Amino acid sequence: MAAPAAHMPIDTSWMARLGLRHPIIQAPMAGTATPRLAAAVSNAGGLGSLGLGASTMEQARQQIVETRALTAGAFNINLFCHRPAQTDPQREAAWLARLAPEFERFDAQAPARVREIYVTAVGDAALQAMVLEERPAAVSFHFGLPEQPFIDALRAAGIVTLACATTLDEALQIERAGIDVVVAQGIEAGGHRGVFEPSQDRMLGTFALVQLLARHIRLPVVAAGGVMDGDGIAAALQLGACAVQMGTAFILCPESAASPAYRADLQSERAQHTGITAAISGRPARGIVNRMHEIGHAHGQPPPDFSRAYDAGKALHQVAARHGCADYAAHWAGQGAPLAREMPAGELVQTLVDELHSTS
């Protein structure tokens, strides 16, 4: 394993607490990660993750129960901590009017209104109580942080906490809140940007962000974004990370919930073209460029808030999918997408570890 730079003391005690054998976290990937995927990664010595931000409380609990039945190892659950959507009838009507011709392509009508389909964990006392009751080994946060009493309760229960940062300012907030580990998400990463306030996104690359955080905060840093193989892991460790979080690398695993169209895109020339858009969900996210990216760019104004925009986008995708069209799908992928490999998750973890050791 490559040695970190001498000026960066690396804290790996949280990894020992979780019993991790390898510095690899499978990214939560709500909608794509499954109990089978998380368990396979955990069984292979990494940290498997479930993305629960798109689940009801009952669905979230069921995923935790299913994963626990498949592994005796530690796994992570990820919660969305975005601010609730603000209703803006004018902006929402303009967006639905912009999407109407797309629905008409498939002899369908755009919905009359949009709903907030993903509820934030912030202020959700029932969800927080369920998490504390189920007591997963690790809990991570995306889009911000929950209330301090919930963080304190997780720590008191012995749960390892992680939170995503895209800037030093966000990382300092995470440190002050008493979170155990900061996940440094670079602009290369697939899926939703974890930025607390999208209008303040500084779009830092993974390696620049890792170095910045490793020099200025005391927390252990996990590198996320663009890491696809052992060489990438070694580079992240060399720059001061204690581990990496990898999402796109696991999408082609048979244990993921990726659709055939998603898998085909990731194995085609289209994987070389990823871009960030808020048009799909209402928050900036990187995926394989498709019709929704084009619509968002042409619209020239913000779509409805997260996840109200997602409600409209999902409706359009479902209509199109019935006609065999995946042009509107959320095929999230990072800039390293062309490097994705198709193999079982446990085999991929071992391959990554072998590659990492070969760089030493």
Above 90 in pLDDT, residue 5?
Answer: no
CA–chain centroid gap for 211, Å, is 21
- pLDDT tens readout for residues 336-354: 999 999 999 999 999 999 9
Q: In which residue are the tokens 């892991």 written?
A: 233
**31 Cβ partners below 8 Å, 6+ apart?**
51, 54, 257, 330
Q: Are the beta carbons of 228 and 189 closer than 8 angstroms?
A: no
Q: What percent of the chain has pLDDT over 90?
A: 96
Average pLDDT over residues 178-194: 98
Q: Which amino acid is at 250?
A: F
Q: What confidence category does residue 360 fall into, taking pLDDT thresholds of 50, 70 and 90? A: low
Instruction: Say yes or no to pLDDT of 66 above 50.
Output: yes
Helix axes 89-104, 308-321, angle to 10 degrees: 10
Domains of the chain by range and CATH?
A: 1-84+119-258+340-360 (3.20.20.70), 85-117+268-336 (no CATH)
The predicted structure's pLDDT at residue 9: 66
Average pLDDT over residues 191-219: 97
251 pLDDT more than 80: yes
Task: Name the residue among 306, 279, 247, 315 with its Cα closest to residue 76.
Answer: 247
102: left (phi over 0), alpha (psi -120 to 50) or beta: alpha
Classify burial at 177, counting beta carbons within 10 Å of its beta carbon; exposed 0-12, middle 13-18, buried 19 or more: middle
pLDDT in tens, 227-249: 999 999 999 999 999 999 999 99
Residue 6 pLDDT: 42
Mean pLDDT of 120-128: 97
CB contact at 8 A, 225 and 194:
no
Over residues 123-148, mean pLDDT: 98
* pLDDT of res. 10: 83
Residue 343's SS3 state is coil
Q: What is the pLDDT of residue 200?
A: 93
What pLDDT does 45 receive?
Answer: 98
SS3 content of the chain, % helix, strand, coil (to 5): 40, 15, 45
User: Averaged over 136-159, what is the pLDDT?
Assistant: 98
* pLDDT score of 8 more than 60: no
Dihedral sign for Cα 6, 9, 10, 13, please: positive
Q: CA-CA distance, 336 to 348, in Å (whole number)? A: 16
d(CA 289, CA 274): 5
**pLDDT of the residue at 28:** 98
Residue 2, pLDDT score: 43
- Dist CA 265 CA 271 (whole Å): 6
Give the mean pLDDT of 60-76.
98
User: In the predicted model, what is the mean pLDDT of the chain?
Assistant: 96
What mean pLDDT is predicted for residues 14-22?
A: 98
Digit-coded pLDDT (tens) for 25-34:
999 999 999 9
273-316 pLDDT, tens digit per residue, is 999 999 999 999 999 999 999 999 999 999 999 999 999 999 99
The pTM assigned to this predicted structure is: 0.96
pLDDT mean over 54-82: 97
Residue burial 333-347, b: 16+ Cβ < 10 Å; e: rest = bbbbbbebeeeebbe
Q: What would the two tokens of residue 301 be?
A: 């104004």
Q: Note if the bond before 268 is cis, omega within 30 degrees.
A: no
